[in-house]
Chains A and B, each alone.
Chain A
């Protein structure tokens, strides 16, 4: 295999005349990661961004509710499950175990990674992108990836202040938070999720809920600190 490596790189270097052209621009691009053209659509004040985020998410068949603070999460979850005739059970990601679930004694809560028999899950998004109504999730001990995909109902909690205009703003926040030196700031998995799962593989008929969740409900929390 190392022979293959040498051969492939050798072919490329001679085709590219590498000796005459050191890759300075490429080296700079990696360290500076310049932002390319960003569409104007998401560039607005924070409240407009939250509105745009909601509209775009609804456009791709997600549903939205907006609440004041984290203490309202359990109530919003119960309400959603009841209104949609869903079982009163949910797998809760570690990131949301601190909210006052005791207020909803009828809810059956589980923790840990997702199982095939789960009917619903709730996890917390790291960011939102107004441009396309996209949620951004990071894997980690606080947020197992499987919770976003295995259960047929996925409820996502996001702080209004974590909604940005564009993807680039979320990358910048990720770099700043986990590694300004641009080393190892990536978790194992970053998931952009834009609406519930879908397929059009049978006669181009659009169907929701192919392998991932059939329903995506987003709870926007205005003031996550209280």
Chain B
């Protein structure tokens, strides 16, 4: 999709007044974090497993060239093929060519962030091939022609009523008088529609949660079972994966799986975890005859060894989104591209360039909750700060902002002057706000007073009061006069 990352502020404003979206986000904020906590509490080793998971991926990134080659050799030995792709265009073309060679008309597809990243659906449609999303959430947003708003719950922003509307519009062949007033009925309708697609598809297109160097396998994790119908029924299986998905061994994959579902949905293990290796064996009764891995770089190799290196440990669990006060206020679409939340704010500038995505690293309070829940212990706040700094140093940030930062820095380096200026400001504000004790509106502070009042200072700075010996005498005068 074309990024709208530049419009983050406008997107966010719209999201904040979208009552239905706010309902959905509130529900997400209550559900996922609680379930994660419960799952973690059931496993005493959870924190230690996070450390191990981090170490595994650190080791992989330090040896990524070696592991990629080892992985490729294993894929080839099991009858598959690895297609190395530098960018999205490479990957799209490769996939379309494989489909065309297979004479494919319909391609079933299970949810993949790489598929979103390279906009594979649009490309296949233009080539006359029909891609069918099979994850329920992805199916819904495909019908609505929307991008996902969450990496593991792509339709989290929609209400049941909206889904019903979409189904009535898209499934015109069904009885218009049918009842669709509960989630179960919507699920049944989608399930029946997709059954036919599964059984008739020529190519199955999946993502990969991991690639295992030891065996040449790809790992697929779902709860619905759609990925399993996607790779096991058609004649050709194509895997889309980015190159940092590598792990060394089955044991390493198992360790990471122990923290993945717990962090994502709060399940101990997702329902279906699948390891696919090569093509069907000669005696097998089912399974694909062709196995292709489209291995995508798209800027990731350039992040190795930089301050954003550690972002490549990400396993796309979504925990940082679920715990982010900004994501929970504006939702995923506001970020303007396929990724969102803290991981998106770090990754997107790395993939599509800082110029496009300069707003995103600012979309954070740096409260640190993302890092505290990230199963791979990725220092997201540190990297958000690094992007801000890079942007500042590139001299492409706004003139006013730069001037104000410069002025503040000059002031902060001169404590005496700083204190005098602050004292003056506080005194003036205190005088002005004497009557009401608060400001409804204040020049240059519209961003604050637009949503709430600004309490007026009581005429003195903290440091000044401290020096007067007011320590310990928190008289609470202001509070008594202005109860919260």
Q: Spell out A's residues near B (CB within 8 Å).
A: 1-2, 4-5, 7-9, 11-13, 15-16, 18, 21, 23, 25-27, 29-30, 33-37, 39-41, 56, 60, 112-114, 116, 131-132, 134, 139-141, 144-146, 148-150, 166-168, 171, 182, 184, 186-205, 207, 209-213
Complex Cα gap A25–B58 (Å): 13
Q: Is the CB of A212 within 8 A of B27?
A: no
Q: List 13 A-B contacts (CB under 8 A).
A: A9-B65, A30-B213, A39-B44, A116-B199, A168-B251, A187-B277, A188-B278, A189-B232, A199-B224, A202-B187, A204-B28, A209-B187, A212-B226
Q: Is the CB of A29 within 8 A of B59?
A: yes
B376: interface (CB < 8 Å)? no
Identify which of A29, A197, A201 contacts B153 (C-beta below 8 A). A201
Q: Is the CB of B248 within 8 A of A26?
A: yes
Q: Is the CB of A188 within 8 A of B287?
A: yes
Q: Is the CB of A186 within 8 A of B183?
A: no
Chain B, 248-266, CB within 8 A of any chain A CB: 248-252, 254-255, 257-258, 265
**Digit string of B293-305 for contact with A (CB within 8 Å is 1, else 0)?**
0000100011011
**Digit string of B15-37 for contact with A (CB within 8 Å is 1, else 0)?**
00000000010011001000000
Complex Cα gap A196–B267 (Å): 13
Q: Is the CB of B304 within 8 A of A15?
A: yes
Chain B, 438-460, CB within 8 A of any chain A CB: none
Chain B, 280-296, CB within 8 A of any chain A CB: 280-281, 283-287
B225: interface (CB < 8 Å)? yes
Complex Cα gap A4–B298 (Å): 11
Which chain B positions have C-beta within 8 A of A146?
Answer: 232-233, 286
Q: Is the CB of B272 within 8 A of A212?
A: yes
Identify which of A7, A15, A186, A193 contacts B217 (C-beta below 8 A). A186
- Closest residue on chain A to residue B28 by CB atoms: A204
Identify which of B94, B183, B268, B285 contacts A203 (C-beta below 8 A). B183
Q: Is the CB of A16 within 8 A of B305?
A: yes
Complex Cα gap A37–B252 (Å): 10
Which chain B positions have C-beta within 8 A of A15?
Answer: 301, 304-305
Which chain B positions have C-beta within 8 A of A144?
Answer: 284-286
Closest 6 CB pairs of A and B: A212-B225, A210-B224, A201-B137, A23-B66, A5-B84, A192-B273
Q: Spell out B's residues near A (CB within 8 Å).
A: 24, 27-28, 31, 43-45, 48-49, 52, 56, 59, 62-70, 77-78, 83-86, 90, 94, 134-137, 140, 153-156, 158-160, 163, 183-184, 186-187, 191, 194-196, 198-199, 213-215, 217, 223-226, 228-229, 231-233, 243, 248-252, 254-255, 257-258, 265, 267-281, 283-287, 297, 301-302, 304-305
